[in-house]
Amino acid sequence: METAARVSESAGGLGRDPRSVAAIVYDGLCLFEYSIVVELFGLSRPEIENWYRFETFSIDRAPLRATGGVTVEASVDRSALDRAGTIVVPGWRDLEETPPSDLLDELRAAHADGARIASVCSGVFVLAAAGLLDGLRATTHWRYAERLASRYPKIEVDSGVLYIDEGRVLTSAGSAAGIDLGLHLVRLDFGSEVANHVARRLVVAPHRDGGQAQFLERPVAVEEDASFAALLDSVRATLDGEHTIASMAAGIHVSSRSLIRLFRRSLDTTPHEWLTQERVRLAQELLESAEGGVEQVAARSGFGSAQLLRHHFRRRVGLSPTAYRRRFSKCDSS
């Protein structure tokens, strides 16, 4: 999508771009937490301009023994930490073990230089050991909360939330909460429209019927108004029909002007922009499930013609509809 990437002003000193992400791995790696980081920041997303660049940096020499008995190799090039504007620590192998002091030094230096540092689950113990959390609020998996608080009394531990954003230091709770934290960062850097897009692609729901759809659709949306949310749902359910600003506005009894404001405020986009975005998404699903030709897909997703579908599809996804179908028709993993 062509929404210009916004760089959150909270991060990034001179030369540090928050969209340059480095994940730290170690012997004893928690694969699940690491994978979350990869899924969020490490996959290529040609449809989004200026997407994250992702590197992995290992503090130990290969092979790393990871969870599940597999071994992993990773780069030990420390310069990754000098470049990164966002550094993620996905867990830590042993709560009783103090992380290596050179790692702590480098984290402190990166932080002082303007980098954002984020942790998933037990990764918070690394940030804590570096002293980056002193005087700040932090969270972690509920099982570790007490230990974190007693060992680091200067940290205000709150185990009741999914993640905590202290500006340049961010922590998240149990493993999966790393997804929420990651989406939060995406929202800061690219806006909620993109964050929602990523969230949806992440939660690949090949058969989306059940009542969970609501929950999966917009994990980071900020819809203050229930009737506005209902409007979005009803439009989404009838994407093949005609929708104008006037008709949508009438649907919730507000003026066109207010409708435009609602979209801007809660989704940071415009009605028309959102509509084509939704239509392209639907077209993606239809293409993935391999029903009908491009002509039919266009009609069912509300594009007046196949040309129009091609135009928008290419612009937003980066591939032509047929190329997309070829590539993602069966096992799309992102």
Partner DNA sequence: CATGTGAACCGCCAGA
Partner DNA sequence: ATTCTGGCGGTTCACA
Chain residues in the site for DNA (CB under 7 A): 244-246, 253-258, 260-261, 264, 270-273, 276, 304-305, 307-308, 311-312
Work out the angle between the directed axes of helices 271-288 and 256-267 (0-180°, nearest 10): 60
Q: Looking at beta carbons, which pairs linking 162-168 to residues 24 or more positions away fall under 8 Å? A: 163/139, 164/137, 164/138, 164/139, 166/133, 166/136, 166/137, 166/138, 167/10, 168/10, 168/11, 168/111, 168/114, 168/115, 168/116, 168/117
DSSP 170-206: EEE-STTHHHHHHHHHHHHHH-HHHHHHHHHHHT--S
- Quote the tokens at residue 44: 């290529």
Work out the angle between the directed axes of helices 271-288 and 306-317 (0-180°, nearest 10): 100
Nearest-approach distance from CB 221 to DNA, in angstroms: 18
Helical spans, DSSP H, in 38-93: 79-83
Distance of alpha carbon 115 from the chain centroid? 18
How far apart are the C-alpha atoms of 55 and 299, rounded to whole Å?
41
